[in-house]
Structure 1
Amino acid sequence: MNIEKLSPDKLRVTLESAELDRYDLDYISINNESPGTKRMLKDILFEAFSSVGFSTKGSRLLIEVLPGKNEGCVLYLTKVETTGEKRAADAPARHKVKAAPQSYLLVCRTLEDAINAVGRFSGYPDIPLRRSAMYCVDGQYNLVFSPVRFGLDGMRLNALLAELSEYGKADAATPLREAVMAEHGSTIQKEHAVEQFMRYFQ
């Protein structure tokens, strides 16, 4: 477990797959209701307070979950001050864990990197895509793709994301982020980008 204090209100926590295994978790299964998630957060917050003085007293905690290397994950923990009535001194802070992203963004520096990255999808026929699109923004190639969530194997998705990261930076995508790319960049392929690129370039 690697804990970095990015600001007084924000931490980045990197967990290896073996550490997730201790809580019977993987990247996909981290959520508010999971007992393993609650135990993991308790241990992380204890270690964060001991090592870097990070305390959530009087605050809610927003947690963003992103895939890491070798089937691990990266957590961003951000304190959000409470409003309205003052929290009782002994009341526990509420934690909100963001669900796994519905869509992902891969930013590649060159078209060749984007084409090679798309080729990696051929090794994962068990991860069907709901949609995919390609944009060019500031000379970089941005691939947005949304896996079908039903029956999705988290370990297989992590493996795919790890392979894609060899060609660019993989991150969570949102409709707003995609809208900004479409507005400020050029749309190369709005629908079925992965399928179209594999058809013509592989």
Structure 2
Amino acid sequence: MNIEKLSPDKLRVTLESAELDRYDLDYISISNESPGTQRMLKDILLAAFSSVGFSTKGSRLFIEVLPGKNEGCVLYLTKVEETHSGAGGDAPAPRRAKTSHGGYLLACHTLEDLIGAVGRFTEYPDIPLHRSALYSLNGEYHLAFSPVRFGLDHARMRALLAELSEYGQAEEATPLREAVLAEHGSTIQQDRAVEQFIRYFQ
């Protein structure tokens, strides 16, 4: 575990796959509802306080999760707002950790690559999509999609991402990245983009 204090309010934590294994996690399965994630965050925050003096007392956390090297991950922990103490000086409200991941972006250079990638989704009917949208920016096609998290088979999800990577660059999405696409690019299909492309091109 490598902990870096980027600012008084922000940490970068790099975890190797063996460290994730101790909590029965990989970067895809990290979520606020996971007991393994809660144990991991508790250990990270204790270590961060001990090593760099990072305290979350009275603060809420925004947590970004990105894939790291060799199946590890990188966490960005940011204190985003102060909470007020309760009546009579009680302890502050509990922290609420939010993870930004849950969706992915696939960037393809050509329409042919995009159509080929969309065709791969038909091979994974066990991975239903919560949403998907398609954007165009700087001559590339950007497919944003989010699988239904409940009951998600993480091994199957990794296999799908590996196949999609044959057609373009697949990576973890963040709200900021998709907001940049929506603001500076052209929206081709706002919702159910994968289903629409399968209907017309497969």
Q: Which TM-score applies when normalising by structure 2?
A: 0.69
Q: What stretches of structure 1 of length at least 5 have no aligned partner?
A: none
In 2, Cα distance between the equivalents of 1:158 and 1:100? 18
Pairwise mapping of residues 156-195 of structure 1 onto structure 2 (< 5 A)? 156-161=156-161, 164=164, 167-168=168-169, 170-172=171-173, 174=175, 181-182=181-182, 184-195=184-195
In 2, Cα distance between the equivalents of 1:92 and 1:181? 37
Q: Kindly provide the amino acid, as one letter, of the partner of residue 14 in structure 1.
A: T
Partner of 1:8: 8
In 2, Cα distance between the equivalents of 1:95 and 1:165? 36
- How far does residue 77 in structure 1 lie from its aligned partner after superposition? 0.6
Partner of 1:19: 19
- How far does residue 134 in structure 1 lie from its aligned partner after superposition? 1.6
Identity among equivalent positions (%) equals 74
**Structure 2 residue matching 1:155: 3-state secondary structure:** helix
Q: Kindly provide the amino acid, as one letter, of the partner of residue 168 in structure 1.
A: Q
When the two chains are superposed, the root-mean-square deviation of aligned CA atoms in Å is 4.0
Pairwise mapping of residues 109-120 of structure 1 onto structure 2 (< 5 A)? 110-111=109-110, 114-115=114-115, 117-118=117-118, 120=120
Q: Kindly provide the amino acid, as one letter, of the partner of residue 20 in structure 1.
A: L
Q: Is the 8 A contact 1:3 1:12 kept in 2?
A: yes
Q: Which TM-score applies when normalising by structure 1?
A: 0.69
Distance verdict in 2 for CA 1:164–1:68, change over 3 Å: farther
Distance verdict in 2 for CA 1:8–1:139, change over 3 Å: farther
**Structure 2 residue matching 1:74: 3-state secondary structure:** strand
Q: Is the 8 A contact 1:31 1:97 kept in 2?
A: no
Q: Is the 8 A contact 2:104 2:170 kept in 1?
A: no
In 2, Cα distance between the equivalents of 1:38 and 1:182? 33
Q: Kindly provide the amino acid, as one letter, of the partner of residue 149 in structure 2.
A: R
- How far does residue 22 in structure 1 lie from its aligned partner after superposition? 0.8
Distance verdict in 2 for CA 1:68–1:123, change over 3 Å: farther
Distance verdict in 2 for CA 1:60–1:128, change over 3 Å: closer
Partner of 1:98: 98
CA deviation map 1:154-196 (0-9, x unaligned): 332244345545632523355x975764454323344543355
CA deviation map 1:121-170 (0-9, x unaligned): 35534313344332102333210113233421133224434554563252
Distance verdict in 2 for CA 1:89–1:98, change over 3 Å: same
**Structure 1 residue matching 2:13: 3-state secondary structure:** strand
For these two proteins, the number of residue pairs brought into alignment is: 200
**Structure 1 residue matching 2:96: 3-state secondary structure:** strand
Distance verdict in 2 for CA 1:80–1:193, change over 3 Å: closer
In 2, Cα distance between the equivalents of 1:36 and 1:90? 29
Partner of 1:77: 77
